[in-house]
């Protein structure tokens, strides 16, 4: 434990099978530890962390003071018991969390591995593996440490691995041993191996390894291709052997994992500050009262020394004042009672259980419930501004489905039923016994086309069955398992298989296919391999008749340039189909072929052979050869593959975006794949103004590209604002207008889809730095895509500001090819510069570092192990549950915690400050107002349960409304509900209450008498009256503060009042006085005091004076400046009162649904994105033709699931903040609510590029309206806004309904509707001119019919 840490390594030397030699370097063992504590360190470290809470230190200080009898008027156990309770509860929770980390570590450390020891293989625990050991791995086993691959059961020392735990990619990667060791496959041979490896020291670079193997007086270079890293899984390889180079914490996986950090919420940090302020306020009150004590003792107290002498050791007024100061510090410490922190922990625990018990976050498919793995961060869930998400396994299932295709100008795959019946899945079994049972396709016209012998369809699927690098494993007749290097290829080959063209097997020179039941063997002449520049691959085959044909598939933009001119008409039709597929977020791919004569083949084959054998510029020569043959091709068609997103991902992203949450995708995948997922998940849309791609390889180029992107944003602002101002004036104008209003004209008027800008390097000097305030208010629809190598430069100290300034002005950011450590650095960068609450979500070990770094870490319990879950604060099974976690549980937790804290500080200032006022009337003697038992029980019994009930169960709006109105989430992001201002308001109210509770009873009782004529001006009567008034006032106050009443709330609030009365009468009873005469001094006073009518009048008067100003203020605030939740509640109330029988609007709904198809087609842009094999690794073609990988074991392909529709998201993602135009009346009719148009907001209308429909949703649902004709429309394209109280789902329905209506509505509500709408959604509009009947409806596109809700 206390072993001296070895010096940092400059290089590592490892000798095989020689533990003694390796141990002298003190290399780390293979034991990992992700926990924070052990038995020895738990108590000191945990107490150290807990006493970082200022309040805990504060109470410890008070405890020390209470141990001094001269200054303490309260017993020491009143502080030590609750303090010990708080520390114990927190310690038990932390110990439990760490226990599960220990349990996970032990599970991993105790895994078994076969280690070669003294010539034989022995089972050893992973924790006992040492650097220099030789390990045997078998198929589907996890790699125990970072290994140098020595030999494999596969030919040529090849093995296949899956690196999902490291980089998130599930496609297989190939690794190969050094040729000199590839034949050492026998344990006896490996036992004699004594090679020495000299390599780089441990680091976190996953894609780089540099080393040298010295053996038999020779040396051999080592690279990353020879390494198997911890966390990888061996696939399709029977067995392999590896030499341990890095173990345990030195492995690249652990180097990227980061440290477990102690997380505290922003409210915790604020409370630390407030406690310091309160302590300062307490000291000030103590000083005031101590000064008063000194003056009183000198001027007045000295006159009574004969019968009121000072208690020893007091011998003068100054020392009396000194002791009085500390006495008042103890008495007044209840402004921050220890029960506050106990209550906070109980509330957080309750919120955690609500998350665990939420059946709407339970996944029945995998039988997994949501889990709050920590109880300290719940309210932080309501304040998230940035979400950092992994891609593979988090947003996607990494399952590819063959969805649609275009063959010879005919589109297949779009199945519609006029009656709305769901399409039937095709059964391929009668047609093809070799069909894959998991394949889903619904368009029977394509199957019929194949059956009737359509030559184009046959050639289409023949291409798919031949042009690939897939390996086939047929264990029994007809039982085929395809092992695809990328899921794209697997989906295409499986599609060909089901339509009758079944790829059966291959050799280095042949491909065997079963075509419609007939086996055919093609001679494989050449494979023109895929790479990121070509974005296509081709094969040249000879069929049994001797005809030579080249088949090519690839990105349409590149393949169309190489077609024969006679394909122009077909290319135009196919381009339209590709645009439709791309608009649906599908990964598109074009297919073509070319017939070759023998002479053409021979001539090209010779040039290809020369290029392949070239010693210099081999890749360039091969590319030229490929380019030469891939010309004048004939177009066959196109495919559309759906990269299956997890259920509900587009909807979730859209709703979270409406909640002003920015989502960044940080993925280890390639750029093209990530961009395609961005489009399919609706993070990126064709309506975006610009998508900036940062791909510079140097610091200077990255800097210029980032600045160029910002220049384009400013140009957009200038164009949108008319270009009337320039320079700083334009910047200032943009700052005013750019506070959330979207600019969509540029996107809509472009005619096509969103543009992707490959930022060029601008000539001349770099542009000037733009003000950060301007960039913070950029309102256009921009997105940023940055590569890993560019991100590495952007994260440098002198560049990070530039990157943050540009990226945070964008609506979406995608970082590609990033390492796990870079993910964490990006999160840390936003935490540092934006001071915003961040949330990271992922499902693999490569996401652990990011999850630990973010304020909140969420783990997806998916298919990539449980490392992310174990490192997370919250876990569930699907990304879509994040919407509910944040918008419901997070928002409620923040709301409840804020209301709890506001009320808690209020009631304790009201309780404590009475002592302060009483000090001026008791000679500053540190005398308490209340009975000591009332002081003890006030926060524990009388007022604890009602505030706990409010903190656990309170709601401002129901959960459905929280999801329907995402803007309700924004107060948490802006920290509006509990901040320093709200804190001062609470304590001001508490001080006001304390003034009333002291001076009203004091003024009345000082001259009051009992019915017998005896005066009421005694200490006990005053104490009982004030205490009773206090309990009643704070109970009424919490009744006003509670927004959602349950049976528990009623029992706790009114039960606490009853409990107070019961305990007070018991404490003042003669029975207790007889048993404990020295403890209960208020005998009989409860009965005598509360029987006096003047006492109850005093209590009633004090209650009214305390509560009426609060009620008046709240009514005025609700009327003049309502909050979002107030508006939603009012809307709900109006809807309930005006609700009509179900079915009234059925026709309108049908009309809306019916118009979706037309609107979607109208929205198709001109952008296409080829999704072919972007996870594909270059070099597999050469591997196949060399024959090195012809002996492979099986790989089961994942089953395909259906994708849920997400067409409504286009509406939700429309620009939210745009100046829109409202049509005035053409016939001269007056609007029933003119102020609605002139001062406020137009109701919902969708962009003309989407649908052109419009619909206004008045609050009064029962109001029927006559049809309204739109006869002439302003041709200026514009983007319109959702209705004032449109929900997320209603916005979609309204945008696609194509209907308008108008009608009279109550004037008072209508007049304020614009304000409400702006408050809820941030949408604002202005009036415009168009002919037609006056209506609160927006303009529609010219082709829109006169359908209205009245027609329905």
Q: Radius of gyration of the chain from Cα atoms? A: 37
How far, CA to CA in Å, does 693 sit from each of 178, 767, 813, 992, 1067? Answer: 38, 19, 10, 59, 75
Rounded CA-CA distance 617/613 in Å is 10
3-class secondary structure, 125 = strand
Query: What sign results for the dihedral spanned by CA atoms 180, 185, 190, 196?
Result: positive
Rounded CA-CA distance 431/939 in Å is 77
Rounded CA-CA distance 817/218 in Å is 36
3-class secondary structure, 233 = strand
Angle, CA 13 vertex, CA 11 and CA 15 arms, to 5°: 170
> Could you give phi then psi for residue 729, rounded to 5 degrees?
-65, -40
What's the token pair of residue 407?
């063959």
What residues have CB less than 8 Å from 797, skipping those under 6 apart?
none
Exposed / middle / buried, residue 934 (Cβ in 10 Å: 0-12, 13-18, 19+): buried
Q: In sequence order, what are the beta bridge partners of 1188?
A: none
What's the token pair of residue 616?
């210099």
- Whose tokens are 């029980």? That residue is 937
If we measure between CA atoms, which residue out of 379, 346, 340 comes closest to residue 904?
A: 340
Rounded CA-CA distance 1103/1025 in Å is 12
- Whose tokens are 């409840």? That residue is 896
If we measure between CA atoms, which residue out of 680, 236, 233 comes closest to residue 484?
A: 236
Rounded CA-CA distance 109/127 in Å is 5
Rounded CA-CA distance 789/596 in Å is 41
Q: Using CA atoms in the order 1182, 1186, 1189, 1195, what is the torsion angle rounded to 10 degrees?
A: 50
Rounded CA-CA distance 1204/230 in Å is 36
If we measure between CA atoms, which residue out of 1029, 1158, 1170 comes closest to residue 1096?
A: 1029
Rounded CA-CA distance 221/219 in Å is 7
Angle, CA 244 vertex, CA 243 and CA 246 arms, to 5°: 145
Q: Starting from the edge strand earliest in sequence, which strands make up the sheet with 233-235, in order? A: 172-176, 158-162, 233-235
In this structure, the number of other CB atoms found within 10 A of the CB of residue 1177 comes to 19
In which region does residue 909 sit, left (phi positive, over 0), alpha (psi from -120 to 50) or beta (all else)?
Answer: alpha
Question: How would you classify the pairing of strands 518-528 and 536-542?
Answer: antiparallel
Could you confirm whether 390 is annotated as catalytic?
yes
- Whose tokens are 């306020």? That residue is 281
* Residue from 94, 358, 390, 643 carrying the catalytic annotation: 390
Contact, 1245 vs 1281, CB < 8 A? yes
Rounded CA-CA distance 99/101 in Å is 5
Q: How many CA atoms lie within 13 A of 405 on its CB side?
A: 28
What residues have CB less than 8 Å from 139, skipping those under 6 apart?
234, 235, 236, 237, 238, 239, 1193
Peptide bond into 313 cis (omega under 30): yes
Hey, which residues are catalytic here? 390
């Amino acid at each position: 434990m206390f072993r001296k840490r070895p010096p940092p390594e400059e290089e590592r030397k490892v000798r095989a099978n020689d533990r003694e030699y390796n141990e002298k370097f003190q290399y780390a063992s293979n034991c990992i530890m992700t926990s924070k504590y052990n038995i020895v360190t738990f108590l000191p470290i945990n107490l150290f962390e807990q006493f970082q809470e200022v309040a805990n230190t504060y109470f410890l200080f008070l405890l020390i003071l209470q141990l001094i009898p001269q200054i303490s008027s309260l017993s020491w156990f009143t502080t030590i018991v609750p303090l010990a309770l708080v520390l114990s509860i927190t310690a038990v929770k932390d110990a439990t969390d760490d226990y599960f980390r220990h349990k996970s570590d032990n599970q991993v450390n105790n895994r078994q591995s076969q280690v070669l020891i003294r010539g034989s293989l022995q089972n050893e625990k992973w924790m006992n593996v040492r650097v220099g050991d030789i390990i045997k791995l078998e198929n589907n086993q996890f790699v125990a440490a970072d290994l140098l691959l020595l030999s494999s059961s596969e030919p040529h020392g090849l093995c296949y691995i899956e690196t999902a735990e490291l980089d998130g990619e599930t496609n297989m990667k190939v690794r190969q041993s050094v040729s000199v060791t590839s034949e050492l496959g026998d344990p006896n041979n490996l036992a004699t191996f004594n090679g020495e490896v000299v390599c780089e020291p441990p680091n976190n670079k996953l894609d780089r390894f540099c080393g040298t193997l010295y053996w038999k007086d020779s040396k051999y270079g080592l690279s990353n291709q020879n390494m198997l890293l911890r966390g990888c899984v061996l696939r399709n390889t029977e067995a392999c052997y590896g030499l341990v180079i890095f173990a345990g914490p030195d492995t690249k996986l652990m180097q990227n994992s980061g440290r477990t950090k102690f997380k505290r919420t922003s409210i915790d940090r604020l409370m630390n500050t407030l406690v310091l302020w309160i302590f300062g306020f307490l000291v000030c009150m103590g000083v005031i009262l101590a000064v008063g004590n000194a003056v009183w003792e000198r001027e007045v107290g000295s006159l009574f020394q004969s019968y009121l002498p000072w208690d020893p050791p007091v011998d003068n007024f100054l020392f009396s004042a000194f002791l009085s100061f500390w006495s008042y510090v103890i008495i007044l410490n209840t402004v921050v009672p220890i029960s506050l922190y106990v209550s906070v922990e109980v509330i957080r625990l309750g919120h955690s259980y609500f998350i665990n018990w939420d059946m709407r976050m339970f996944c029945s498919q995998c039988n997994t419930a949501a889990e709050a793995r920590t109880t300290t961060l719940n309210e932080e869930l309501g304040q998230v501004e940035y979400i950092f998400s992994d891609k593979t396994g988090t947003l996607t299932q990494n399952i590819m489905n063959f969805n649609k295709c275009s063959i010879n100008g005919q589109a297949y795959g779009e199945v519609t039923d006029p009656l709305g019946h769901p399409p039937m899945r095709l059964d391929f079994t009668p047609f093809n016994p070799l069909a894959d049972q998991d394949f889903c396709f619904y368009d029977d016209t394509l199957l019929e086309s194949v059956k009737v012998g359509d030559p184009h369809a046959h050639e289409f699927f023949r291409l798919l069955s031949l042009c690939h690098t897939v390996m086939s494993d047929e264990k029994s007749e007809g039982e085929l398992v395809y092992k695809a290097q990328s899921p794209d290829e697997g989906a295409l080959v499986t599609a060909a298989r089901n339509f009758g063209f079944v790829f059966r097997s291959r050799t280095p020179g042949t491909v065997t296919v079963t075509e419609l039941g007939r086996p055919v063997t093609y001679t494989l002449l050449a494979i023109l391999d895929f790479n990121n520049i070509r974005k296509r691959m081709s094969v040249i085959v000879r069929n049994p008749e001797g005809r030579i044909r080249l088949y090519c598939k690839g990105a349409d933009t590149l393949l169309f340039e190489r077609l024969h001119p006679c394909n122009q008409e077909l290319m135009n039709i196919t381009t339209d189909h590709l645009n439709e597929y791309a608009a649906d977020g599908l990964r598109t791919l074009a297919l073509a072929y070319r017939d070759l004569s023998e002479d053409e083949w021979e001539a090209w084959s010779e040039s290809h052979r020369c290029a392949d054998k070239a010693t210099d510029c081999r890749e360039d020569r091969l590319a030229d050869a490929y380019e030469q043959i891939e010309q004048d091709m004939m177009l066959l068609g196109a495919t559309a593959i759906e990269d299956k997103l997890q259920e509900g991902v587009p909807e979730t992203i859209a709703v979270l975006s409406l909640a002003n949450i920015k989502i960044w995708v940080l993925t280890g995948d390639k750029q093209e794949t990530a961009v395609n997922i961005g489009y399919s998940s609706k993070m990126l849309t064709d309506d975006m103004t610009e998508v900036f791609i940062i791909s510079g390889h140097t610091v200077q180029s990255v800097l210029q590209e980032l600045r160029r992107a910002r220049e384009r944003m400013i140009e957009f602002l200038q164009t949108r604002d008319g270009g009337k101002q320039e320079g700083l004036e334009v910047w200032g104008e943009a700052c005013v207008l750019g506070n959330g209003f979207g600019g969509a004209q540029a996107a809509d008027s472009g005619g096509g889809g969103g543009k992707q800008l490959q930022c060029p390097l601008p000539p001349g000097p770099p542009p000037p730095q733009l003000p950060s305030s301007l960039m913070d208010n950029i309102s256009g629809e921009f997105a940023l895509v940055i590569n890993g190598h560019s991100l590495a430069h952007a994260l440098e100290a002198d560049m990070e500001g530039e990157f943050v300034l540009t990226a945070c002005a964008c609506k979406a950011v995608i970082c590609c090819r990033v390492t796990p450590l870079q993910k964490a650095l990006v999160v840390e960068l936003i935490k540092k510069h934006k001071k915003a609450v961040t949330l990271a979500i992922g499902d693999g070990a490569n996401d652990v570092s990011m999850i630990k770094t973010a304020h909140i870490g969420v783990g997806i319990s998916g298919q990539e192990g449980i490392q992310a879950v174990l490192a997370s604060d919250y876990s569930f099974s699907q990304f879509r549950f994040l919407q509910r976690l944040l918008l419901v549980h997070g928002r409620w937790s923040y709301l409840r915690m804020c209301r709890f804290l506001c009320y808690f500080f209020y009631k304790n200032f009201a309780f404590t400050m009475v002592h302060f006022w009483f000090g001026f009337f008791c000679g500053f003697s540190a005398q308490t107002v209340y009975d000591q038992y009332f002081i003890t029980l006030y926060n524990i019994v009388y007022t604890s349960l009602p505030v706990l009930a409010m903190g656990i169960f309170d709601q401002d709006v129901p959960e459905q409304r929280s999801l329907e109105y995402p803007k309700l989430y924004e107060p948490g992001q802006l920290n509006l509900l509990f901040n320093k201002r709200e804190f001062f308001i609470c304590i001001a109210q508490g001080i006001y209450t304390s003034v009333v509770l002291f001076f009203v009873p004091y003024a009345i009782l000082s001259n009051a008498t009992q019915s017998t004529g005896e005066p009421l001006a005694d200490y006990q009567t005053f104490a009982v009256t004030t205490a009773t008034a206090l309990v009643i006032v704070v109970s009424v106050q919490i009744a006003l503060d509670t927004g959602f009443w349950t049976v528990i709330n009623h029992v706790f609030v009114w039960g606490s009042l009853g409990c107070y009365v019961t305990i007070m009468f018991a404490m003042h009873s003669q029975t207790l006085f007889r048993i404990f005469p020295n403890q209960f001094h208020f005998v009989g006073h409860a009965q005598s005091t509360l029987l006096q009518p003047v006492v109850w009048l005093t209590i009633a008067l004090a209650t009214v004076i305390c509560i009426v100003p609060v009620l008046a203020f709240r009514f005025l605030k609700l009327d003049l400046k309502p909050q979002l939740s107030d508006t939603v509640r009012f809307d709900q109330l109006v809807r309930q009162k005006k609700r009509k029988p179900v079915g009234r609007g059925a026709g309108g709904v049908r009309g809306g649904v019916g118009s979706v198809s037309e609107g979607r087609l109208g929205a198709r842009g001109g952008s296409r994105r080829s999704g072919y094999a972007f996870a594909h690794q270059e070099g597999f073609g050469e591997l196949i033709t060399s024959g090195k990988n012809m002996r492979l074991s099986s790989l089961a392909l994942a089953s395909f699931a259906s994708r849920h529709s997400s067409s409504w998201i286009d509406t939700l993602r429309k620009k939210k903040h745009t100046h829109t135009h409202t049509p005035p009346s053409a016939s001269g009719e007056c609007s029933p609510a003119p102020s609605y148009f002139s001062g406020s907001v137009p109701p919902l209308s969708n962009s003309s590029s989407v649908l052109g429909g419009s619909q206004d949703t008045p609050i009064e649902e029962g109001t029927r309206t006559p049809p309204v004709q739109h006869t002439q429309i302003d041709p200026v394209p514009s983007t319109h806004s959702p209705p004032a109280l449109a929900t997320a789902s209603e916005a979609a329905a309204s945008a696609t309904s194509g209907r308008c209506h108008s009608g009279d509505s109550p004037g008072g509500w209508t007049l304020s509707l614009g304000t409400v709408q702006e408050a809820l959604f941030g949408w604002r509009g202005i009036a415009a001119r168009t002919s037609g009947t006056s209506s609160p409806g927006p303009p529609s596109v010219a082709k829109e019919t006169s359908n209205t809700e009245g027609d329905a």
